[in-house]
């Protein structure tokens, strides 16, 4: 994939006025975009997709989302309404993990994008430390957040700056209909990070405010403080 010249020449749109950049625990305190690797608790758990969608930048710039064949067949495509109004998705369905990684690298060179997300199923040999190192370097050089979603894989050696495990939790109660699902919730574990201590806590997406809130257990009070300092919103 090559970034079209017309896109490459356009500046990345600024965040929507009045919408705070929240729910960004993957970023350093300086909010520098990095490579974040996210592992699904089970291969078919859609929580990891929801968590990533909720954590993307609040801009009108397009998001590049790349999937290999197995990821799309087993987990499906991202749900477009979940992006919110005014947000665009460029979706690529590719056969091989090597093609996904190549497309992600190319996307990270395109300044018109808001973020790059890739999904790779299992642990293909091509997805080694060198491959993640290349993505990490490109993300920081291009000033773009990059998310690598992993299903059916174990956390091997990686250059990702932040590494997560995400599992689904029952949603919050709906404020107007007890029979309907409320805001989604996830159990998230940050087991490796460069800019903040690791820990496990509950994250939820506040749909009305379009933000991710974090509720840390008492033992993770220091982590909650780190999240607040980094621009995240911690509740509880």
Please write the tens of the pLDDT for every residue from 93-115.
Answer: 999 999 999 999 999 999 899 99
Is residue 193 a part of any domain in this protein?
Answer: no
Is residue 213 a part of any domain in this protein?
Answer: no
- How many domains does the structure of the chain reveal? 1
Residue bearing the bigger pLDDT, 48 or 230: 48
Please write the tens of the pLDDT for every residue from 177-202.
Answer: 777 777 788 899 999 988 788 888 88
80: domain CATH number is: 3.40.50.300
Is residue 66 a part of any domain in this protein?
Answer: yes
Please write the tens of the pLDDT for every residue from 124-183.
Answer: 999 999 999 999 999 999 999 999 999 999 999 999 999 999 998 888 777 787 777 777
Q: Look at residue 173 in the predicted model and tell me its pLDDT.
A: 76
DSSP for 169-199, please give it: EPPPBPSS-TTSB-S-EEEEEEEEESSS--E
- Rounded distance, CA 135 to CA 132, Å? 5
Q: Look at residue 24 in the predicted model and tell me its pLDDT.
A: 39
The range of the structural domain enclosing residue 54 comes to: 29-168
Is residue 127 a part of any domain in this protein?
Answer: yes
Is residue 104 a part of any domain in this protein?
Answer: yes
Q: Look at residue 55 in the predicted model and tell me its pLDDT.
A: 85
Is residue 164 a part of any domain in this protein?
Answer: yes
Mean per-residue pLDDT over the chain, rounded:
78
Does the pLDDT of residue 40 top 50, yes or no? Answer: yes
Q: Look at residue 229 in the predicted model and tell me its pLDDT.
A: 54
Is residue 200 a part of any domain in this protein?
Answer: no
Percent of the chain with pLDDT over 70: 74
């Amino acid at each position: 994939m090559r970034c079209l010249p017309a896109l490459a020449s356009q500046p990345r749109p600024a965040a929507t006025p009045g919408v705070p950049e929240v729910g960004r625990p993957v970023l350093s305190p300086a909010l520098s975009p990095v490579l974040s690797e996210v592992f699904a608790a089970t291969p078919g758990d859609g929580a990891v997709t929801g968590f990533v969608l909720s954590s993307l930048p609040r801009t009108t710039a397009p998001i590049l989302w790349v999937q290999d064949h197995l990821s799309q067949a087993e987990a499906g495509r991202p749900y477009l309404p979940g992006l919110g109004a005014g947000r665009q998705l460029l979706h690529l369905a590719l056969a091989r993990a090597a093609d996904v990684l190549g497309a992600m690298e190319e996307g990270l060179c395109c300044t018109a994008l808001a973020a790059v997300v890739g999904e790779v199923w299992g642990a293909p040999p091509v997805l080694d430390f060198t491959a993640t190192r290349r993505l990490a370097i490109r993300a920081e050089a291009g000033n773009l957040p990059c998310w690598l979603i992993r299903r059916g894989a174990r956390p091997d050696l990686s250059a990702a700056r932040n590494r997560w495990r995400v599992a689904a939790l029952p949603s919050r109660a709906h404020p107007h209909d007890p029979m309907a699902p409320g805001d989604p919730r996830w159990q998230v574990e940050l087991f490796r990070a460069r800019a903040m201590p690791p820990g496990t806590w509950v994250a939820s997406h506040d749909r009305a405010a379009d933000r991710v809130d974090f509720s840390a257990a008492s033992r993770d009070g220091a982590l909650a403080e780190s999240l607040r300092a980094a621009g995240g919103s911690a509740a509880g």
